[in-house]
Amino acid sequence: MRHPFHLRQICAAILLYMSIASGAQAESTLSPREAYVTLMQLGQVALSKDAPKEAIVYFSKAHRIAPSDLRAQLSLAEAFARSGQVRRAEAFVQYLLKRPEYGRYETQYLAALAKLQARYPLVASASFAALPSTNIRNTSSQTVFDTLIGRFEIDDGGEETSGIGLEVGLHGSYRHPIADGLTFEIGTTFNRIWYDASELRYWRGRVTTDVKKVDAHGSILGGLHFDRTYYAEAEGNSSDRIATGLHGQWSRSFTGNTQFTFSGVAEYRDYLDKDSLSGPFASLHLGWNKRLETGATIHLGGTVERSKPSLDYHGYWGGTLRGGYETDITDTLRAGLNLSAAVRWYDTDFAAVDYPRHDEIYRLGFSVSYSRIKIMGGTPKLSCGYKIQNSNISLYQSTSTDCRIGWSYQF
């Protein structure tokens, strides 16, 4: 009695192979259930033959037929991981975890994430960016500085220098699952920023240790960090800096499309050649993000920060409001607009004047990415912004247009 059943499955598989190979309509001769079963079988066969990219094709088709089927979901994630796309596999499972309609599978999703992290504890990525700017030195747009003791000319005042910088970055992390949904992670990042002017070139490194807890409603993270910025080619006093501190983040999702995020940083910044700038720094950020049914996203946020270096007139309270909108223009073109406004109130009278410094910073920007352009599987993204910094201390008045053409590759 089993022969007719096997014969039927073999015939279905042959029809499906013909459909995939020739683009014919043979697949339509199968019922959705038959097509799903056959696709899952073909995917498993492809995995057993160490052909995960073929398996992705089959499991993706099965997932489209039965999007809420747990077996199809986790099989697709497995195929992503086996093909070397570990981050994509984890991102897919995390996406499923946040969908309220799949809440009954929370335990299975968390177990799948822990399994991926245990099997692939090391993940890495590389990034490259071009950084064109109309004012690479952040030169003041004013030419003179009036003080209580007279008027002084500002070095290079009003003479903005345009140029292009380059940034290369490497990031790696080690993850160890403590329990389902609870992970310990060590991360390292190294960046090299290069400009034609040697005094603007620097290295930046960062090491973090974090404990992260995730569930169907959001995540919470806390840890330590160590940052080092090194201007290797600068002559005289440089902006070399070491920062050590604490950081944390809490996020909560609602209805699968809306997310609130609260994060904070507290650190001590030690400027090795400029002791007057050394001191504690802290910031708190609240963000709101909503994904619309059209695929567009809206985000709003606000930040409060406090800096208290050893030289009082450089200490300040600051606040920033920002917002943005991003949407698909076509199936392959995505674009967005963003704006921000920030203020900084400084603690005491600035040197040589009888009033404290006050800054206002405004930025209007856009971003665009075209998914048909691929570099090693990654899509470059262009983002630009026009910034105006107003200050009652003319040394700090400036304007600039800064862009970033960036690309990231995960491996």
Residues 210-267: pLDDT tens digits? 999 999 999 999 999 999 999 988 777 889 999 999 999 999 988 768 999 999 999 9
Residues 94-110: pLDDT tens digits? 989 988 888 899 999 99
Query: CATH for 122-410, among 3.30.420.40, 2.120.10.30, 3.40.190.10, 2.40.160.40?
Result: 2.40.160.40
Residues of the chain with CATH 1.25.40.10: 2-119
Contacts 24+ apart (CB under 8 A), 327-330: 327/294, 327/295, 327/296, 327/297, 328/294, 328/295, 328/296
**Interatomic CA distance for residues 318 and 344, integer angstroms:** 4
CATH node for 2-119: 1.25.40.10
Residue 39 confidence (pLDDT) above 90: yes
Confidence of residue 410 (pLDDT cuts 50, 70, 90): confident
Tell me the two tokens of residue 112: 């799948």
| Higher-pLDDT residue of 99, 189 | 189
On average, the pLDDT of the chain sits at 91
Residue 74 confidence (pLDDT) above 60: yes
Residues of the chain with CATH 2.40.160.40: 122-410
Residues 305-348: pLDDT tens digits? 999 999 999 999 999 999 999 999 998 999 999 999 999 999 99
Q: Are 166 and 131 in contact (CB under 8 A)?
A: yes
Residue 11 confidence (pLDDT) above 80: no
Cα-based distances in Å from 142 to 65, 152, 352, 397: 64, 11, 17, 7
Q: pTM of the full predicted structure?
A: 0.85
pLDDT of 28: 54
Amino acid at residue number 175: R
Which SS3 state, helix, strand or coil, does residue 402 take? strand
CA 284-287-293 angle, to 5 degrees, is 170
Give residue for tokens 């985000």.
299
CA gyration radius, the chain: 27
Task: Report CA dihedral (171, 409, 199, 365) to the nearest 10 degrees.
Answer: -110
Taking alpha carbons only, the member of 123, 159, 120 closest to residue 141 is 159
